Chain A
């Protein structure tokens, strides 16, 4: 369940982002994440731990929306892109070359935040 630790890291980043708007307080509607297929993160577990972690904090009610990013490799022999699979040993189907370059799939990115600004003082989510 390292998604719990991932969520803690995410909350730290969100707290830091919140301070950019001081003295106004942002009310967050949705946090958009990109999660690549070639990472150790299970999106459903991340959403589950997020919901538990934000309860009672300034992010209470904020949704976490995850955009999955597929694994795309680039064959270094012929430069074409392909969808690597474990069954094919991640090799490129065009040239049977090992997966040297990853075009996408390693993303763990906070892409954007949808929010409104209010002036109500709220408490900061604890990351501990």
Chain B
């Protein structure tokens, strides 16, 4: 005769991923390395934004990229061409990066260089507005992109992604004259789900707004250096 028992766990469903993310984060903190997780739907302009940002900030910051892609290494090749170390992470059928994949990418990166010599590690996530929002990888900040061609309703339809972001970039603003959309409505809808994030309209093509974005990256770096989180390394 067995007594029915009940254990109360109160544990996050993603606890296993969360533990690995915290482990990654402890490494980033120990290296004073700002990790930025860049997310958007496919084709919103993540790779173009990184090409411009890495080129523009090359004299100020040492950077590397972990490049998540489902099947190809096309984005990794584009970013290597602008002169930074890129570790491609091919996710196969997985539609997002998780903390274990980023940990694997970090190990490969460490074979090429000392991460403590870097200022910024860009994690370019798989193009997807749903899954990456729930899987932390150990990043300090989340950056979400929304291109003007996607429509201003997307923050309302995919609210978790835009709620979680620290900075939302409204991209491809050079196309605004050709579209029946209103930039203010994009910003208003982002603010409705996330009143506290930084919202920056940018165009990689015309260069409009990029200076403000570069300042956000530099100030995020400065904030990390001024207040390095206490580093407690836990066994993986």
Contacts and interface: CB of A to CB of B under 8 A. Distances in A.
A29 B4 contact: yes
B116 interface: no
Interface stretch (B39-47, B71-79, B130-138, B220-228): B130-138
B160 interface: yes
B192 A90 contact: yes
B10 A99 contact: no
Interface string A2-25: 100110111011000100000000
Contacts of B131: 2, 5, 40
Given A89-B156, A108-B14, A99 B9 contact: no
B10 A109 contact: yes
A86 B134 CA distance: 19
A116 B9 CA distance: 16
Interface residues of A, number: 38
- Decide if the interface of chain B is mainly helix, strand, loop or mixed: mixed
Contacts of A39: 134, 160
Nearest to B19: A12
Contacts of B17: 9
B95 interface: yes
A38 interface: yes
Nearest to A76: B195
Given A2-B130, A9-B15, A114 B6 contact: yes
A121 to B, nearest CB: 16
A99 B133 CA distance: 18
Contacts, number: 109
A1 B12 CA distance: 19
Interface string B175-217: 0000000000000110111011000000000000000000000
B3 interface: yes
A100 interface: yes
Given A17-B9, A109-B13, A2 B156 contact: no
B236 interface: no
B191 A111 contact: no
B98 interface: yes
Interface string B31-44: 00000000000000
Contacts of A13: 9, 11, 13, 15-16
18 contacts: A9-B16, A12-B15, A35-B13, A39-B160, A86-B156, A86-B159, A89-B156, A89-B189, A90-B156, A90-B192, A98-B191, A98-B192, A98-B193, A109-B12, A110-B9, A110-B10, A111-B9, A115-B6
List 10 tightest A-B contacts by C-beta distance, closest first. A116-B2, A12-B16, A2-B131, A108-B13, A89-B192, A98-B195, A86-B156, A9-B16, A110-B11, A110-B9
Interface of A: 1-2, 5-6, 8-10, 12-13, 17, 26-27, 29, 33, 35, 38-41, 86, 89-91, 98-100, 108-118, 127
